[in-house]
Structure 1
Amino acid sequence: MIRASRDMWLLAVGQALSGTVVSLLTAVSSLSGAMLAPYQGLSTVPVSATVCGTLLMIYPASVIMGRLGRRIGFFLKAVIGIAGGLVSAVALVLQSFSILVVGTFLLGAFSAFSQYYRFAAIDAVKSADERTRAVAMITGAGIVGGILGPYLASHFDRAFQTPFVGSFIALTVVCIAIAISQIFLSADLGRDSATPSTSSPPALRFKPSSDFAAASIICAIGFAAMTLTMNAAPLALARDPRCGGSTTPILQAHFIAMYLPSLFNATLVRAAGLRGLVAGGLVALLLMALSAQLFEATPSLYFIQLTLSGLGWNFVFNGGTLMVASTYSNDHKTKAQGINSLIVYGANVFASLAAGILVAQYGWQAVNLACFPMILAGALFLFRMPRAKNA
């Protein structure tokens, strides 16, 4: 229990610092892209490169951590993040859009490993009953990153003559802190057993069930709807003269809404079950999308919408993660977690690419309109999940 407790705290630190990197990158990536892009519709290509880097690394990251453990995986992640931050800073100094895309691609590979903190939390507990609290604790640690990331982005964006160079340098320093903290994790945390149990077939024979597929798609929908609005928001806010170009308070509200509710998820699951938690998230996303169609965009409305986007992500993604965890055995962990993350980030690639195009061509209202079919699909897949997953 002592070692598990230590690992949980270290995972929480890693999640908080990783969330700082992600939120900082969200605050400056599309704006950096807009500064260097040959065409404004390509402003979110650096963001999309991040998602593509995540997509390509997401399954290998699961395999690496299955073989070598979470400690080596998260340390390697930090090294990749350091490289990505430095390359991105150099790109801005050289005014090179293509080098910026390379840097943000590396930061995507960094993010791939970060997606496994939720599963690492499950590894660190001893029983299925503790899973909800473990995931809530680790996800809740992201509150720190949600506040600190946008602050660092805005505080250091003019630290050097070239805008945003200081932000990427700050990102690099945070990655160094991640490397230092994660090296103290237990060496065997998350590492696959040398001999699979006789009660289930080898991991290589894992065949995803329909419940696994449905729960994974629910995770993907929650993440994609959030990604679409989160990546589009800085561009939409920068284009709106009523907002004065300031995105920091709105993004901070978004990230707080993403992570703060995790502290109460265990209570919510006991009261309404996992299906109820996911349904609540879909309702939050629906209110966000509807408000954009019914009301004129104002700073206050952006604030409310991005808060709803974060809340929707928290309930849908965390509920979906716990649903996924109940659909595979420990022998199948590496492959199941890799496939789940691959599905999530496959959807995110399209959402990220669509964000820049929709904002540039049609505006913020169209971004929210695109969320409606995703919300409907999420409701349909949730409806078909068996009530046994509601516990």
Structure 2
Amino acid sequence: MMPESLVRRNIVVLTAAQSLGAASPPIVISLGGLVGQKLTSDPALVTLPVSLFNLGLAIGTLPAAFLMRQIGRRNAYLFGAVLGALSGVVAMAGIFAASFQLFCLGTFVAGFYASYVQSYRFAAADGAEGPMKAKAISWVMIGGLIAAIIGPQMVIWTRDLIPNAEFAASFAGQALLAMLALPVLLLLRAPRPEKAATAAADTGRPLTEIMRSPRFMLAVAAGVVSYGLMTFVMTAAPIAMVGHGHSVSSAALGIQWHVLAMFAPSFFTGHLITRFGKEKIAAVGLLLIGFSAIWALSGMALMNFWASLVLLGIGWNFGFIGATAMITDCHTPAERGKVQGTNDFMVFGVVAAASFFSGTLLHASGWQAINWLIFPAVALVLVPLLWRARTAGSPARTV
């Protein structure tokens, strides 16, 4: 067990790294479809770059978890940041060469970087005890609040910086942010791989046994629905906004407000979880996602898009952080790596599928069809989550 002072130091380092690493997805998501429109004549493929980003994120989770076990979290995170820098360079080259395939390769590799950034929240909980786990996760997610400003603002200020290559400078900025994360991550003090291996000599229960646990299944389902629906809507939102007569800058600002809403509640989400329990906060998150769909369906004005995206972001925060905290109660220290890696693979696998489906559905049926599908997905998980919240007893209780 790490000393509390070291745990707090790592939280600060990971929060700073999150502020840089989490700026990459808003750049890819706000521009991926718009660049796709310029580079391909097939309307059904315009969101493919964003979908491939989410696919890379899903595919990268298990190799990232394996690499962390082999060489330690810090070294694995450094490797991930190098991938992030490379992805920005490749995407920029795709724009210069007017190559849709090369641009898609860049966003796909950016997804691999995101798979490492996503695990920062679990690294923050390493060594934390009791209520501090949820607070550690929540504090690291606050780094995303800074990223929510950096990413979209970089799009707005750099989109026309390079003549005859719109958006190329934005992806150069993405590469720069990943490079800036390298010296920050060097400050991380995670357990050495050999020490982690010694501590985990007993690998715990078989993964299949853990996966059959109702607690694990519900935690994964809450994470899948929270993240999957958020991605499902956010992938289509910039294209829908521009398609309904709003400007590219308005679309980027909409994504910025959305990402701000995703991370701003992290200042108090951990405290709410400690007070009311993980399941209740996750349930509130799903309800807010449902309300975001109601707002989106009420009109096509810019404020309808923006307000819906803000509600969607807050709902994601409560739902996903609540689900993440639930996962930390499903394993022993020896089981940590395989359980966390499996959870992320399942969550982001569905996220990737949702992203692919979102672009196809937007092209075939429109923005409203996307929002109508939110309601059955929320209801499917909300009912067992509320039942679990009612029977879980004390918020601090673990299973």
Please list, as runs of the form range in 1=range in 2, the aligned pairs for 1:105-184 lying within 5 A after superposition.
Answer: 105-123=108-126, 125-161=127-163, 162-184=165-187
Please tell me whether the aligned partners of residues 192 and 334 of structure 1 are also in contact (alpha carbons under 8 angstroms).
no
Q: Distance in 2 between matches of 1:390 and 1:33?
A: 46
Give the length in aligned residue pairs: 389
| Deviation by residue 1:176-199 (Cα, 9 ceiling, x = unmatched) | 001121122115278762234688
Please list, as runs of the form range in 1=range in 2, the aligned pairs for 1:1-391 lying within 5 A after superposition.
Answer: 1-123=4-126, 125-161=127-163, 162-188=165-191, 193-196=196-199, 201=204, 207-208=210-211, 209-242=213-246, 246-293=250-297, 295-383=298-386, 385=388, 387-388=392-393, 390-391=395-396
Tell which deviates more after alignment, 309-318 or 372-381. Answer: 372-381
TM-score under structure 2 length normalisation: 0.92
Please tell me whether the aligned partners of residues 236 and 359 of structure 2 are also in contact (alpha carbons under 8 angstroms).
yes
What's the offset of the Cα at 1:246?
2.1
What's the offset of the Cα at 1:357?
1.6
Q: Distance in 2 between matches of 1:90 and 1:244?
A: 22
What's the offset of the Cα at 1:206?
6.2
| Deviation by residue 1:212-257 (Cα, 9 ceiling, x = unmatched) | 1220111011001100111111101111115576213211110111
| Deviation by residue 1:310-334 (Cα, 9 ceiling, x = unmatched) | 0110000000000111011110111
Partner AA of 1:156 in structure 2: T
Q: Distance in 1 between matches of 2:262 and 2:193?
A: 25
Tell which deviates more after alignment, 60-69 or 183-192. Answer: 183-192
Q: Distance in 1 between matches of 2:201 and 2:58?
A: 33
Tell which deviates more after alignment, 245-254 or 205-214. Answer: 205-214
Partner AA of 1:253 in structure 2: W
Please tell me whether the aligned partners of residues 136 and 266 of structure 1 are also in contact (alpha carbons under 8 angstroms).
yes
Q: Distance in 2 between matches of 1:175 and 1:203?
A: 36
TM-score under structure 1 length normalisation: 0.94
Q: Distance in 2 between matches of 1:250 and 1:377?
A: 28
Tell which deviates more after alignment, 211-220 or 356-365. Answer: 356-365
Partner AA of 1:387 in structure 2: A
Change (3 A) 1:326 1:76: same
Q: Distance in 2 between matches of 1:96 and 1:332?
A: 44
| Identity fraction in percent | 27
Change (3 A) 1:268 1:72: same
Please tell me whether the aligned partners of residues 232 and 355 of structure 2 are also in contact (alpha carbons under 8 angstroms).
yes
Please tell me whether the aligned partners of residues 7 and 124 of structure 2 are also in contact (alpha carbons under 8 angstroms).
no
Partner SS for 2:189? coil
Partner SS for 1:188? coil
Q: Distance in 2 between matches of 1:52 and 1:389?
A: 38
Q: Distance in 2 between matches of 1:71 and 1:197?
A: 18
Q: Distance in 2 between matches of 1:287 and 1:61?
A: 35
The answer for unaligned runs of 5 or more in structure 1 is none
What's the offset of the Cα at 1:383?
3.6
Q: Distance in 2 between matches of 1:198 and 1:34?
A: 52
Q: Distance in 2 between matches of 1:62 and 1:244?
A: 37
Partner SS for 2:197? coil
Tell which deviates more after alignment, 328-337 or 194-203. Answer: 194-203
Q: Distance in 2 between matches of 1:177 and 1:15?
A: 11
| Deviation by residue 1:279-309 (Cα, 9 ceiling, x = unmatched) | 111111111112233x221111111100011
Change (3 A) 1:227 1:192: farther
